[in-house]
Chain A
Amino acid sequence: MKDLYLVYKNLTRKKLRLFLTSFAIFIAFLIFGAVTALQGALNSGVEMSADNRLVVFNKINFTQSLPYAYVNKVSGIDGVKDVTFANWFGGYYQEPANQVVTMAVDPDTYFDVYEELQVDTQQKANWLQNQAGVMVGERLATVNNWKIGDRIPISSNIFSNKDGGQTWDLVVEGIFTGKDPQVDTGYMVFHYKYFMETQSWGGDYVGWIVLTTDDPAINEQVAKAIDENFANSQAETDTSTEKAFNKAFIEQIGNIGLIIFGVVFMAFFTILVLVGNTMVLAIRERTSEIAVLKTLGFSSPRIFRMILTESCLLAFLGGLLGLGAAYLAVGALSKMMARFLPNLVLGEDIILQALGYMLLLGLITGIAPAYRALRLNIITAFARG
């Protein structure tokens, strides 16, 4: 494209203006990239949850436990495929700031229900053998640099050990991975039975029950059957799909989707007005130059394209820099926040989306001045000076 030099010279003729407008676009795409990645991280639990997985919690709220006997009763309900259960442990490694998401689970069934997790058969066999064994998610293992065979003391703020301390010595028996890079592996699981036997309160309750149904189509029906089964008993249950539960859980923080939409919308609206206005002014200043180009024989559609190219270049200049900065920021943040936000990544989908918005921004901000130039009449343009 021979006109590209001309377009480039027009774009860069006012350095300060170029800097200010591309900086505004830069900021908008930085916000977009970072905030969308954050939203993705928060939502990944929702997106990654299996379609046919249900969670059963105590109806009072999800921190209340359920009687152990419920596990068997749930297994007996029609349409239920696999059942497992878990108990919250929490815990930290070496110092309280170093939180480690830990759950006490049923080792025999846990990985059947969480099919998106991959475990080596030998490692799993070793884990089943060792009461004090723990299976660590890949991300968590990487963050703490844990290897198989490592002895890791995990302390709790909630529970006490029967020996009087608050620390459990666990041994890494295996490292599980996700079948998909977005599967959360930022936690670890150890034996429920061992936990119950070693903690001072003991008891025969479970934190929650997780099950799969034979078919996602019967989710509703199964959930209803479970809750009805325990209606009017000592602990009523609230069964929902894992997706719905995760979503509700996230929404406790606030309507994140709406907040994020608002932030992104404001950022884009601002630059749309700002850049659009700048483009209109820039092209208006060039009225007589456009008339000259037309006189020389540059066709109106060609000038139309040149102006759209200019506005798109501007959008991509600021946009790509902003997206690049967001990528670096998210990369740094995800290292710092690996424990809380395991899936904080600026992925391909966000990049594609951002590229689409850049193109859109370029076209929208360029269309009015480009159209004006298209229609510009040589004679009246010269007459006006």
Chain B
Amino acid sequence: MSDDNLFELKAVAKRFKKGKETISIFDDLNMHIKRGDFLAIMGPSGSGKTTLLNLLGGVDQPTSGEVSFDGARIDSLSEGQLATWRANNIGFIFQFYNLMPMLNAAKNVELPLLLTNLSGKERQQRVETALKLVGLADRAKHMPSEMSGGQLQRVAIARAVVSDPKLLLCDEPTGDLDRNTADEILEMLQLLNREFGKTIVMVTHDPAAARYATHTLHLDKGQFVDKDEPVLQEKSA
């Protein structure tokens, strides 16, 4: 265990009750994520990728085991404590953007800042910076219904980074986008990782998307499985 680790999972189990049956998604999952990693998680549908992301993001709790973030356990926090923890540490990016349809781009990006003590003026400055970063400074007043998928995802990225969290969690961020747009988004994530030092965990189906990451883990039936990653080496060199 070193200080390089942002995340550490020890003997994590996650089970769901479905009627009388208990479904076990993870039995004994161990992993760590280093600061500055851009980790891609791949695996077949139903392998537990989203569940893992939920555990990392503190929206779900393990049935047993330890989840530590920055040296502190988060697996025993209350619902309210977790909400605060998420607001302070995690930026979320979803497959279907999940923007608020009645708010314009700037107001959507501002949402996480409502959870801080920043003044209205400071919030506005941060929103401008975040929108500039994703190249949408001129779309601040646009409504989600007026934007393309790629633009929506960029607004979502601006929302995820506006409060300057250490970790970005992305669940299939390019799953709804065409190749070119997907590449734009992935380049943006790569930029955030390289230039801004954001640690990123990205779930994806798409091997091409995984190439942007510094590491790839394969999840199958609740276990990480070894796979050669020649492409990854090539790309990150």
Instruction: Report which A residues bind B (CB closer than 8 A).
Output: 2-3, 5-6, 9-10, 12-13, 288-289, 292-301, 378-379
Contacts and interface: CB of A to CB of B under 8 A. Distances in A.
Given A2-B114, A293-B111, A378-B59, A300 B84 contact: no
Contacts of B103: 6, 9
A295 B80 contact: no
Sorted nearest first, the 9 A-B pairs with minimum C-beta distance are: A297-B87, A13-B102, A297-B86, A9-B102, A292-B98, A299-B83, A2-B114, A378-B59, A297-B83
Most buried by B among A288, A296, A300: A296
A13 B59 CA distance: 28
A379 B59 contact: yes
Given A2-B114, A378-B59, A294 B83 contact: yes
A295 B101 contact: no
Contacts, number: 61
A6 B79 CA distance: 23
A2 B98 CA distance: 21
A53 B230 CA distance: 105
Interface string B73-101: 00000011001111110001010001011
Contacts of A292: 94, 98, 100
Given A9-B103, A379-B54, A295 B92 contact: yes
Contacts of A297: 83-88, 112, 115
B95 to A, nearest CB: 10
A377 to B, nearest CB: 9
A297 B59 CA distance: 9
B27 interface: no
Most buried by A among B94, B100, B101, B107: B100
Contact of A299 (B54, B80, B159): B80
A296 B94 CA distance: 12
Secondary structure of the B contact surface, majority rule: helix
A295 B86 CA distance: 7
A9 B107 CA distance: 11
A296 B107 contact: no
Contacts of B114: 2-3, 6, 298
A300 B115 contact: no
Contact of B98 (A5, A12, A288): A288
Contact of A296 (B79, B80, B112): B112
Contacts of A288: 98
Given A294-B83, A295-B86, A299-B84, A10 B102 contact: yes
Contacts of A13: 101-102
Contact of B87 (A9, A296, A300, A301): A296
Contacts of B86: 295-297
B60 interface: yes
B100 to A, nearest CB: 6
A13 to B, nearest CB: 4
A295 B59 contact: yes
A289 B100 contact: yes
A297 to B, nearest CB: 3
B186 to A, nearest CB: 22
B57 interface: yes
B17 to A, nearest CB: 13
Interface string B116-147: 00000000000000000000000000000000
